A and B are shown apart, each in its own frame.
Chain A
Amino acid sequence: MRQSIFSIETNENIAKDVYRMTLSGDTSDITAPGQFVNIQLDGFYLRRPISVCDWGDGKLTLIYKILGRGTQAMSRYSAGAKLDILTGLGNGFDVEKAGNNPVLAGGGVGVPPMYGLAKRLRAMGKNVTVVMGFASKEDVFYEEELAALGCTVRVATVDGSYGTKGFVTDLMDSAYSYSYACGPIPMLKAVYDKLDCSGEYSFEERMGCGFGACMGCSCKTKYGSLRICKDGPVLEKEIIVW
């Protein structure tokens, strides 16, 4: 973990209430896709945990959705503004487990960490399928960016206004070597039930500190309690208790 100051380069609206922020700063403590950062915002006491979309060479990309007053304030920051950020938080996904044809399932703002993961899996020469679920057409983002990495990309919307009508599980058709998933709990559970292969699932919870000190985000697993922020947010499929 590292506490450092990042400088905002861009902060733009890419879908309904969804923003992409790119920053420059020290990314050396980020070691795996699926990790998160914890951001101090002016006027808010607790930091905001946001998953890492992509990183490298002193550049950090975050995609976040306006869900409350903190993310609302975050969307109003302009290029050049400085942010105090804790980086390198959480365990992240293990790319070594992917096998040859992994499937990556992202729901809503569960999609961003899948981009950083897909990029690294493609660099390893994996045959990557990405299935993404959104509520409606106006919520869809990153379809082209993921396709540009060379992934097979499929999109579902709950209302059928874009792509397949339904859920990410309706987009899965073949046997996969491994699964990675990030999204709302019902989506994670549906993916868990649908697929026979092993996998890693990323969870979220309201956090106090984000680095394992306060026990605010504990969850029960088959092997005792774990902290979502420090031992997670990525849990192996085999240990999950729903």
Chain B
Amino acid sequence: MVNTTIHLAGLTLDNPIIPASGTFGYGREFAELYDIRCLGSFSIKGTTKDPRFGNPTPRIAECPNGMINAVGLQNPGIEKVISEELPNIQKIFGKPVVANIGGFSLEEYVYCAEKMDACDNVGILEVNISCPNVHGGGMGFGTTAESAASVTEAVKKVTTKPVFVKLTPNVTDIVSIAKAVEAAGADGISMINTLVGMRIDLKRKKPVIANTTGGFSGPAILPVALAQVYRVYDAVQIPIIGMGGISSAEDVIEMMLAGAAAVQIGAANLVNPYICRDIVAALPEVMQKYGITNLEECTGGAHR
């Protein structure tokens, strides 16, 4: 028998598989397809203080082994998420979720963190300071150590939930930012958000994405994510939720060996809506194949 249980910032997850924010909505579409209670947890669609339509369309472009999105944090606003989505998540999922919050000012992050703090089925607060698709906020907070630390500190003051700060890879030195959020009190790090990318339509000779650029994700970015998680693992003591291009049980183990305590799966959900269920099911056999009995012990294995 193999053990897939993961301990993460005081929570016990049945397995490390967590669908990533923005690729799983609030769980509704997937709960129609399979019993999502098989998942370790899931990260809800990035939620902001006010409702947002997001960016103009087209918001999606294809790439070799990946895709670009520029949705721009479309969401119904935190009030509706708390009154409608979180209660429904309790019904269809029943386990603690990762509440992903975004903002355009320090005050907005604090507002959302305070509101989410009062929700029983929020297990982890994931603070998105790395959205590449919104102006005047989002990634702006995640690109310097000082601003990343200031958001972390402000959020930590108003919540007792574990705070994971979601970092962008679109920086010169992600390690210094990871260290800064750890020093500011973060309980963990989620990484990596999407890489800034673009495609150009040859017929129109214009960017495919209406917002010009977007966030590049999918299997193509797995090596980038692995390298960044590997470096950050060496530099911090707090746990890392690793993500970026994971599409199989083998990828999950690879990400954990790089240093991740749990993983998120993003773009793959959009191509194969059953992928997370399938990865959970495949994990025991793949673990056995590689002589792993306790999955948790894989974390950071490539460093030893």
A45 contacts B65, CB within 8 Å? yes
Interface residues on A, range: 20 to 34
- B residues within 8 A CB of A214? 22-23, 60, 69, 71, 270
Least distance between A36 CB and chain B CB atoms (Å): 15
A3 contacts B273, CB within 8 Å? yes
B62 to chain A: closest residue by CB: A46
Does A207 have its Cβ within 8 Å of any Cβ on chain B?
A: yes
- A residues within 8 A CB of B61? 206
Using a CB-CB cutoff of 8 Å, which residues 140-189 of chain B contact chain A?
none
B69 contacts A216, CB within 8 Å? yes
B65 contacts A215, CB within 8 Å? no
- B residues within 8 A CB of A1? 32-33, 273
B62 contacts A217, CB within 8 Å? no
B54 contacts A218, CB within 8 Å? yes
Question: What separation, in Å, do the CA atoms of A225 and B274 have in the docked complex?
Answer: 26
Least distance between A202 CB and chain B CB atoms (Å): 16
- B residues within 8 A CB of A3? 272-274
Using a CB-CB cutoff of 8 Å, which residues 28-53 of chain B contact chain A?
28-30, 32-33, 45, 53
Question: What separation, in Å, do the CA atoms of A190 and B59 have in the docked complex?
Answer: 26
Does B24 have its Cβ within 8 Å of any Cβ on chain A?
A: yes
Using a CB-CB cutoff of 8 Å, which residues 246-277 of chain B contact chain A?
267, 269-274
Least distance between B232 CB and chain A CB atoms (Å): 27
A46 contacts B54, CB within 8 Å? no
Question: What separation, in Å, do the CA atoms of A216 and B67 have in the docked complex?
Answer: 11
Q: Assuming A45-B267, A225-B53, what are 7 further A-B pairs, CB within 8 angstroms?
A: A45-B65, A45-B66, A46-B60, A205-B57, A213-B29, A214-B270, A217-B59
Identify the A interface with B (CB < 8 A).
Answer: 1, 3, 40, 44-47, 70, 86, 205-209, 211-220, 225, 230
Identify the B interface with A (CB < 8 A).
Answer: 22-25, 28-30, 32-33, 45, 53-54, 57-67, 69, 71, 74, 208, 218-219, 267, 269-274
